[in-house]
Amino acid sequence: MSRKRRLPPEALVDLRRRLDTFPPRSTERRKIIQDTANLYGLSESSLYRALSELAKPKLVRRADHGLPRGYQYETLNRQPPAVRFQAEHSNQCWHFDLSPSDLKHVKQPLGIDPSRGNPQLMLYSVVDDRSGVDYDEYHCVYGEDVEAALRFLFNAMSTKPVETFPFQGIPDMIYMDYGPIARSQVFQQTMKYLGITVCAHSPKGIDGRRVTARAKGKVERPFRTVKEAPETLYHFHEPQTEAEANAWLFNYLLRYNAMPHRSEDHSRLEDWCQNLQASGIRQMCSRERFCTFAREPESRKVGPDARVSTGHVLYEVDPDLAGERVILWWGISIPPCMSNTARNAMVLTIPSVVPLSWAVTAALRNPKRSSAPIG
């Protein structure tokens, strides 16, 4: 059987070199092809085909190309294993979050803004990382309110009126969402004064395939428990006010924190008492002192009639301040009753050579002083 004729590789390279010395449309190129074809007994088409394959690169592939390599789609998209964390001592880390209540609102809310409608009933919660002790409160707010968050944290850190619930003290760290409250300068300033480190939660999609929401499970789970246990009873007997809702909720929290710990053989509250730091509990300061922490300055100019306007409300100040630029220190007011809210303004001169012994203080929602808004 005759073998297929082929041009030797060195002859093919020499042919390519000779052809490259002439222009593409030169008649000498065709003459060289004919002479080579006659010499080796090949057709011209065979020579052109051999020349086209000479400079063609070969495809380099893996030896196992086209074969399965043991990887699966589910395996590649599987989340990294969760790393469980538990604080060594009580009050070492608190989880703080808020969630809309299934009750939506109460019939007699406090501090209604007619232009914004009924405030939403929000559930504020802190959970001790070590013991799982939960403290919740209802607050009627418009969105994520910073003042309500500060009032709630003050109540959470203060001594409770019930001796059987000793949960209190200033935590070393608060873990929370990176939302409007965490970004608030007043909130950050207040936490700094109290010596609390604020650790913001990583948002979704920032940590690759890891679902960051599971890091908040210790505070999200009590939300679900509250909405499935006490709030389902509101369909039969609905609280009328925020104070009434908080009283019912606190009664449930006493039973909730008396339930077994997630891993120990005692209750959550007992675990909190048994694992306090050696230095003891960092006691919360007084209401008056806390209100001085949570203040935000606002610049205003006093009119020639010794009155300053803010929020469509006029305040009378000392006549010596007429025409002066002043700063209104907006802050929160925490009365003994948890359900009452107020916002105060204090006027100081800028610059102040000596400390002033006078000030104007008026509650925006319920002014009662002689220097309160007029007109």
Look at the chain and report how many structural domains it folds into. 3
Range of the structural domain that residue 359 is part of: 294-363
50 shares its domain with 198: no
Tell me which of 237, 272, 290 is where a domain ends. 290
Sequence-distant (≥ 6) Cβ neighbours of residue 374 within 8 angstroms: 307, 314, 316
Concatenating the DSSP letter of every residue in 126-178 gives EEETTT--EEEEEEEESSS-HHHHHHHHHHHHSPPS-TT----S--SEEEE-S
CA dihedral 258, 261, 264, 270 (to 10 degrees): -40
Rounded Cα gap, residues 119 and 122, in angstroms: 9
**Residue 375 domain flag:** no
The three-point CA angle 179-180-181 to 5° equals: 90
Nearest Cα neighbor of 118 from 151, 145, 144, 140 is: 140
326 shares its domain with 267: no
User: In which element (H, E) is residue 295 found?
Assistant: strand 295-301
**Residue 216 domain flag:** yes
Residue 217 pLDDT: 78
Q: Chunked in runs of 10, what are the mean pLDDT values of the chain (375 residues)?
A: 70 88 89 89 87 73 75 72 84 93 83 78 93 93 88 94 92 90 90 92 68 73 88 86 91 93 92 93 90 80 85 80 81 53 34 29 30 32
Q: Alpha carbon 290 to chain centroid distance?
A: 25
Residue 229 pLDDT: 86
Residue 360 pLDDT: 34
Residue 82 pLDDT: 73
272 shares its domain with 182: yes
298 shares its domain with 252: no
143 shares its domain with 271: yes
Residue 75 pLDDT: 72
**Residue 347 domain flag:** yes
Rounded Cα gap, residues 369 and 86, in angstroms: 50
* C-alpha to C-alpha distances, 146 to 151, 229, 280, nearest whole angstrom: 9, 28, 29
* C-alpha to C-alpha distances, 12 to 4, 7, 8, 15, 49, nearest whole angstrom: 16, 6, 6, 5, 11
108 shares its domain with 207: yes
191 shares its domain with 116: yes
272 shares its domain with 311: no
**Residue 25 domain flag:** yes
Q: For residue 351, is the peptide bond before it cis, meaning its omega torsion is within 30 degrees of 0? A: yes
259 shares its domain with 330: no
